[in-house]
Amino acid sequence: MITDLKKYIESTSNYFQEKFSATPTLVAYAPGRINIIGEHTDYNLGLSMPSAINRWVIVCLRPRPDQLISIISQNYHDKMEYTIGEAYVPSHSWQKYTYGSITIFGNQFKLDKGFDAVIWGNVPIGSGVSSSAAMEVALMNALRAAYTADIDDLALVKLCQRVEHEYLKVNSGLLDQYASQFSREGKLMILDFNQLSSEYVEADMKDWAWILTDSKVKRELAGSKYSERVQETANALEEIKSKNPNVQGFRDITAADLELVTDPVQQKRIRHLILENQRVLDAAEALRQMNFEELGKLLTASHVSLRDDYEVSCPELDFLVDTALQLPYCAGSRMMGGGFGGCTISLVRKDSVQKFNTFMTEEYIREYDIITEINNYQLVDGAGSYTC
């Protein structure tokens, strides 16, 4: 376990002891994630290339002898409390994720006793690095350990996905939860959502670094537009299937099938999906060959596709990408995450990261009067839990 995570767990455990006058009996943690390439492909059974990052959500928990569930958010200095089986209406966003996770878990595994818990995290919220998935995965790992539930990792992340669907009303795929659970230190994954399988790719970046630049634009449209995109691609698939009997699912679609889609908007959405899946495969090959210039070109092509064909970018993200691409030490850049805000990911020479940060900060302030946050993350292991 890396030093920072140990330090954060110790701090959260101390906070638990302060609030509950007892030590936690178990700890669970789950990281946020970056996604190098392969955006809006998960719910269309495509490919992506994510990895977990060194930012976490931590859950410290101690079972109770009664039926009370008492949970404190250390970040929000807020508390939720209810008795198992009792009606409860969560009032804040963190409570919705928490209550949804506990309820979905409890519907599958009997919660015979309650518990005290503290939740803390440093995964940036609303930045496209999946703070919500990290929270779900950390809490599900804590519940699995606390109630000794017989559930494997893949089934666990599917429960987390149900929280998004049923309690947040976002029809998301499995990218965020899968990456948070299954990532490996220093590696990227080629994640295949059709097979629900992954292989690991060495991410030795040599003289290059992944830099995330936060637009500070909160993704207000993400939920409704996300569902809209899910429906658009589903409609396009059904039309293609009705005209081409060889197509049974998204992964059977080829460029030749595009002309079968009569709606021009839906045609654009499917074009993004086909080309983005290929870009993931090409990016993996570029990584294996350590061809970072080619990798950068693929990133930029992904952004153009997300901007023009999938239409999930926004002016601030476009500005950050265009600004980054002016710099000779930036090989490529794109928006990352659901879109309509959040952050960009850029491939930047390590010896020029500070220059990149300064230039991007100054230009963004000049254009939007917003101070961006820029981060260079480490690739870390996925979620875990242990008894104290």
Provide the annotated active-site residues. Answer: 176
CA distance 222 to 268: 19
CA distance 210 to 283: 14
Cβ–Cβ < 8 Å for 299, 276: no
Residues contacting 94, CB < 8 A, separation 6+: 73, 75, 76, 78, 119, 135
Cβ–Cβ < 8 Å for 85, 67: yes
Three-state secondary structure call for residue 388: coil
Cβ–Cβ < 8 Å for 343, 214: yes
CA end-to-end distance (rounded Å), the chain: 15
CA distance 197 to 218: 31
Nearest to 39 by CA among 168, 172, 185: 172
Nearest to 331 by CA among 373, 309, 305, 303: 303
CA angle 382, 384, 167 (to 5 degrees): 80
Query: Two tokens at 115?
Result: 């518990």
CA distance 140 to 382: 13
CA distance 118 to 240: 49
> Which residue type is seen at 44?
N
The H or E element containing residue 326 is none
Nearest to 354 by CA among 371, 376, 372: 376
Cβ–Cβ < 8 Å for 344, 42: no
CA distance 147 to 155: 16
Residue with tokens 């993704």: 219
CA distance 307 to 190: 23
> Which residue type is seen at 300?
T
